[in-house]
A and B are shown apart, each in its own frame.
Chain A
Amino acid sequence: MPTATKTGQEQMNIVIVGHVDHGKSTVVGRLFADTGSLPEGKLDAVRKECERTGKPFEYAFLLDALSDEQDQGITIDTARSFFKTKKRDYIIIDAPGHIEFLKNMISGAARAEAAVLVIDAKEGVRENSRRHGYILSMLGVRQIIVCVNKMDLVKRDEKVFKQIEKEFRDFLKEIDSAQPKEFIPVCATLGENLAARSKEMSWYKGPTLLEALDEFSKAPSKSDLPLRMPVQAVYKFVSQGDDRRIIAGRIEAGKAKVGDKVVFLPSNKTSTIKSIEGFNVADRQEIGAGWSTGFTLSEEIYVTRGEIMARPEEAPLVSTRFRANMIWLGKKAFTEGRDYKLKIHTQSQPVRLHKINKVIDASEAKGDALKKTDVGRHDVADVILETRQPIAFDTISLGEATGRFVIVDGYDIAGGGIITKVETDEKESLRAEAQARNFNWIKGGVSQEARSLKVGHAPALIMFVGKEGVGKHKYARAVESSLFESGKSAYMLDGTNVLLGVDADLVWVGATQAELVRRFAEVAHILLDAGHLVISTTNAIGLADFSSVQALLPDFPVLAVEINPSKSTVGTADLRFTGKEPESELIQSITDLLIKQNIIPK
C-alpha cells in the first residue's frame, strides 16, 4: 500500500458507498492504480496470480491483496488506504469490503469530508443507492459525487446516464436530502472518467472523478460562527492541591476570550471568562473552534454537563420538542410510548417519539411516505421527538455538532439523526420569562458557590404532588425536619401560604391557574437563589404543572415526588409513593436521590 502521508500535507477523508456489486472496489482499485499509489510491482503480481489460477483479472482483487498485507502488518499506513493527486492525499476511511454492514458504513461516513456513491448504469438506482444517499446527507456529508458506473454495459448511452441522474435527483429532492455536486458517467474497469477522460463518451463535458474530488474544499474554520461550547465536565482536582474550578469542553463553533460575558443554556446562568486553562501550553487570551479546552469564570456559578456555553446575544435554542430526520438501526423498532435515551453534544436525556411525520422506505423507487406507526430497522424517518426536560441545541443548518443526536435503546446506540426544526412547546413563554429574568438578575455580593460551600449543599426544589388528602403535607414536613436536623438549610413552602399573600388578588378559578403556577415558581426561585432546599406541597399545583415550574426554574434542580399516582401520570415524577409508606422510607429515598444528583454530599 502507499507510503505514509507526511504530517502537514493536506488530507481529505472520503468514503465510497453504493449498492453491492455496483463497482465500489473496482473504482478504488482503479484509482490506486491510475494515480500511481500502489506499491511497486503490485499490479503485475496480482495480474500474474490471476493468470496462474485462471481467474479473470479484477481491480477489486487489488484491495484483497492489500488487505492481506495489512493483516501481516507489512506496511505502515495500512488501515487507511489512500491515493494521491497533485492537490492532496485522499484517505479512504472505510474499505468498501465491509460496507455491507450499515453500522460500519455509518461509522465511517460520519467521519468523512466527501463521498463517492457508485450506481450501476445497467441495474440503475437500487435500495442501497437510495439509502446511502439519504444517510450521507443526514450525516452531514455535503460534498457528494455520484459515479454512474459500468457505462460500457449500456453502450455508453447518454440517455441512460441522464435518466439515472434524474431519477436519483428526484428521489433526494422528495426526501429533502442534499443534492450531489456531480454526476459522472464512468467505466471503472477501463478507467474511463476516473483519473483520465473517456474518449468514448465525448458527450460528457463535466469533470472526471479526480477533477471533481480536487474541486472539493476542506471545511472552513468554524471560528467565525456564534460561540458554542457544550460543557463536557466541570473539574476541580482539590485533592491534588488544585483549586481551579474548570469548565471543560470542546469549542464546537465560534471563539471565546478572557473577559467575555457568557451564558449557559438551558440554565440561563451568566458569568465572565476569567482564564483559558491548559497543560503544557503557552498562556492564551483567546481560543477558537476545534479546541478541547477549559475555562475558569470570574463569578463562580453552578453549571452542569450538557449545557451550552454561548454569548447572550446569540444563544442556542431551548425546547423539549424538535423535528428531526433520523435513521434507525435497532433490532427492535422505534415506537411511541417507550422511553429512550437521547444523546446530543454532551447532553443526555430521556426522550420519547412524539410523532412520526413520515417514514421513508428505501426499498421503494419513490421516497414514499409509509403509513407506519413505528420506525423499523434501517428505516429513515421524519419525526418529532420530545425530551423530558428542556435541552439546548441548534438546527443542523446553524450548528453541526449541536444539531445532531443519537438515540440509545437499552445499552446500544440504535439510531441517529439531525434536527431540522425547533417545535414550540407550551412552555416557550415561560422559558422566555425565565431567560429575561435571569439575564438581568442583579446578583448579590455572595457567589452561589461560596453560599453552597457555607451551607454544605446546593439549592433544589422538591415538589410534592398528588391529589388532596393523600398525605403530601405530612411527608413534606417530615422531609423538611429530617434535612434540617442533619444540618441542611431546608424550608417547607406550603402552597397555601403563597395563595394567602402573593395570590390574594387572584380569584381562585381555572383561568388563573397559569398565573398561580407562575407566582409560585417565582417565589420558589427567590428561596432557591438564597441557597435553600425548598420542599413544596400544594393542592393548587399538580404534576401537570411540573413542566411549567421547571421551565421557570431552568437554573435549579426541580424534583417531583408524587403521592398516590394515577395511571395516566406514570413516568413523569422522579419518585412515586403510594402514601402508605412510613415517613422514614420517603426520607431515605429522597436523600439518596439528592446525593445521586450531587445536591447534598454523601
Chain B
Amino acid sequence: MDILDQLEQQSVYILREGFRHFERLCMLWSIGKDSTVLLWLARKAFFGHVPFPLVHIDTSYKIPEMITYRDQLAMEYKLTMIVGQNEAVLKSGKTFPNTQNLPEGDPNKVSRLECCGLLKREALTNTLNGSWPRKRLNLKTGKYELDADKEPYHGVIVGARADEEGSRSKERYFSPRDKNNLWDIGEQPPEFWNQFKTDFAPGTHVRIHPLLDWTELHIWEYIKREKIPTVSLYYDQGSGTRYRSLGCAPCQAPIQSTAKNVDEVIAEIKSGKLKNIAERSGRLQDGKHGLEELRREGYM
C-alpha cells in the first residue's frame, strides 16, 4: 500500500462515516481540483454512486469554463446538483467588480474581501440552512429548477487540506460549527483514533474534512493515477501562465508557468519552484488573516 492508497482508504472511511451519521448531508463542490478529487473519492466510497447532493455557490463571476465543466460532470455522474447564489446583491450590483472603479472612499465601493463575504459566505450560509432558494439540476432536461427541499444540511463535506494554511492544522476530520456557523478552535472535541464527532446538538452542524491529510502534491498525483478529469484552466494553454487555484475571474490571477498537463504540474511542484509561493497567492483577496476570518465565519 503506498501513501496515495493510505490517504484514499482514510478518506473513504471518513466519507462513509459522514454518510452514515448525517441524514441531511451535502458536499461542497467548488469545481477546483481538491473538491473534484473529493467527488471522485465519494464515487470510490459508494461504489460508483454519489448518494448526497453537491452544493456549489455560484458568485456569477466564475470563469465560464468552470460552470460548463460542472454541469457536464453533474449530468455524467448523475449528481444531485444544488446551486446557491446571493441574488439580492447581484441584482443590486454592489460587488467588487462593479464598484472597483469608484473613487477611494466612496461609500458604495465594495472591497474584495467584502465581496467574498457577500457572494460566498452569506450565500453559503443561507443555502446550507435553507433560508435562501436553492436551484437544482434536472438531469432529464439539463436545466436548473427551484428545489422544493428547504431543510437545512447538518453535515457538510468540504475539501479542506491541512497544508493549505496555518489555521487548518488545528482542524479535525469532524469539526463542529455552532448555530452562527462559528468555529471555536479552543473548544474542539478530541478525536481519538477513528472515532469522530457524530453527535450534534440541534441547530449546530458539522464540517467533515476527508482531505485533511492530503497535500497539493498528493492531489495531483492522485488525479494522475485515477485519470480524474480536471478543468483545462489548471494548465498552460500557450500563454505561459496557468491557474494554480480557481476562484472568481476578477480576483484570480494565473501564475507564471508552462506546465501543460498533469505530469508537468507534478514535476513543477516537485522541483520546488513553487515552494515559496503560497498556493492561494493568486487569490487577491487573501489578506494575512482574511481567509481565516472568512473560515471562522463559515465561508469555508
Contact = CB atoms under 8 A, between A and B. Distances in A.
Interface stretch (B62-70, B112-120, B216-224): B216-224
Given A244-B47, A278-B44, A279-B48, A290 B190 contact: no
B110 to A, nearest CB: 24
A3 B278 contact: no
A545 interface: no
Interface string A231-247: 01101010010101010
Contacts of B1: 290-291
A107 B192 contact: yes
A305 B289 CA distance: 43
Given A75-B275, A406-B195, A232 B215 contact: no
B164 A73 contact: yes
Interface string B2-33: 11111011101100110110000000000000
Interface stretch (A262-270, A411-419, A481-489, A563-571): A411-419
A401 B49 contact: no
A602 interface: no
B189 A412 contact: yes
A548 B24 CA distance: 38
Interface residues of A, number: 60
B140 interface: no
A106 to B, nearest CB: 5
A139 interface: yes
Interface stretch (B89-97, B101-109, B197-205): B197-205
A73 B1 CA distance: 31
Nearest to B266: A7
A76 B172 CA distance: 20
B47 A294 contact: yes
B166 A98 contact: no
A250 B280 CA distance: 34
A317 B187 CA distance: 36
Nearest to A406: B195
A292 B16 contact: yes
B45 interface: yes
B74 to A, nearest CB: 15
Contact of A242 (B2, B49, B163, B169): B49
A232 B189 contact: no
A412 to B, nearest CB: 5
Interface in A1-39: 3-4, 6-8, 11
Nearest to A404: B193
A601 to B, nearest CB: 17
B73 interface: no
Nearest to A94: B169
B162 A79 contact: yes
Interface stretch (A64-72, A434-442, A507-515, A588-596): A64-72
B166 A78 contact: yes
A87 B194 CA distance: 29
Interface in A393-412: 401, 404-406, 408, 410-412
Contacts of A277: 47
A348 to B, nearest CB: 9
B192 A110 contact: yes
B184 interface: no
Nearest to B228: A280
Contacts of A541: none
B71 interface: no
A545 B30 CA distance: 56
B46 interface: yes
A101 B184 CA distance: 14
A79 B170 CA distance: 9
Contacts of A242: 47-49
User: Top 3 A-B pairs ranked by shortest CB distance?
Assistant: A79-B169, A70-B166, A73-B278
Given A4-B216, A110-B192, 8 more contacts: A71-B165, A72-B288, A76-B216, A78-B169, A235-B47, A277-B47, A292-B10, A404-B192
20 contacts: A4-B217, A7-B2, A7-B218, A70-B166, A70-B169, A76-B215, A76-B275, A79-B163, A101-B186, A232-B20, A280-B226, A294-B47, A404-B192, A404-B193, A405-B195, A406-B195, A410-B199, A411-B200, A413-B190, A416-B192
